[in-house]
């Protein structure tokens, strides 16, 4: 299962866990990036499909990340106002 920013962790822990999970996945599947690159290198249909899938995944991750950052900014603003 892939990491999700929706986990119930403090913001910086979510970021740390996400980065760790990503590199753990790559380490456990070290041949995957080369395999994917070699598969799409000369096949325009596969390249287009991969780009479409990655584009949607990146959009989703960025949307979740922005929501988390906005939540942290609001929490910080509230904490500062109560001082």
Residue 2 covered by a domain: no
Which among 6, 1, 3, 18 is positioned nearest to 63, based on CA atoms?
6
- The count of domains in the chain is 1
pTM of the model: 0.72
**Per-position pLDDT tens, the chain of length 83:** 456 677 788 989 989 998 999 999 999 999 999 999 999 999 999 999 999 999 999 999 899 999 999 999 999 999 998 87
- pLDDT at position 4: 67
Residue 51 covered by a domain: yes
Domain span at 66: 11-81
Residue 5 covered by a domain: no
- pLDDT at position 3: 60
Residue 45 covered by a domain: yes
Residue 60 covered by a domain: yes
Residue 65 covered by a domain: yes
């Amino acid at each position: 299962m892939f990491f999700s920013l929706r986990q119930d962790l403090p913001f910086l822990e979510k970021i740390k866990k996400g980065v760790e999970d990503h590199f753990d996945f790559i380490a456990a599947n070290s041949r995957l990036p080369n395999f994917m690159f070699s598969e799409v290198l000369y096949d325009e249909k596969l390249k287009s499909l991969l780009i479409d899938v990655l584009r949607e995944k990146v959009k989703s991750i960025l949307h979740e990340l922005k929501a988390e950052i906005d939540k942290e900014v609001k929490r910080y603003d509230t904490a500062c106002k109560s001082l």
